[in-house]
Structure 1
Amino acid sequence: MTTNCSATIDLSQLDQLLLTTYILPGAAREANIPAKVRDGLLQNKSTSTPPSPEILEPAVRSIRDLMEDTIFVSFLNSPSTYLYE
């Protein structure tokens, strides 16, 4: 029982860290996700339990799409990738 409680506390702490770093408006590394997705994550902010996968899935999808659309394309277009062709 203690392990389950400890894991929940660790997940809750990680959730709060992710929220304050990437999700809250004005966060140090605020992710550019849709307001609807952000609002869904923030509604769970004050609870002591981590968000369910159903709440997290749209945020994960948004971040993945951002990475595919921006970071990967930038990497492919960077001069250093031409060295390997």
Structure 2
Amino acid sequence: MSRSSQAVLVVTALLSAATIAAVHVQQRRERERLYSGVLRDLERQSQKRENIRLLEEQIALTKRLTEEREKMLVEKGSQQS
């Protein structure tokens, strides 16, 4: 085999290896990006559940406060009569 054909063979092999490596790196990055999306979704769902829990707690506290205010107004009204 001539020297130039050997050089072409080596260059072609190196370019092929580099292309294959680049594709593998790209696939790994894409897989990591997709997985981080799943983690973000799980975090969002967790935060949403926490927000709903806090909202329900706030609603219950507001209801209790309203009931206590009404009770105090009724007691205050009965004391004045």
TM-score (norm 1): 0.29
Relative contact order higher in (CA < 8 Å, ≥ 6 apart): 1
Question: Going by fraction, where is helix more abundant, 1 or 2?
Answer: 2
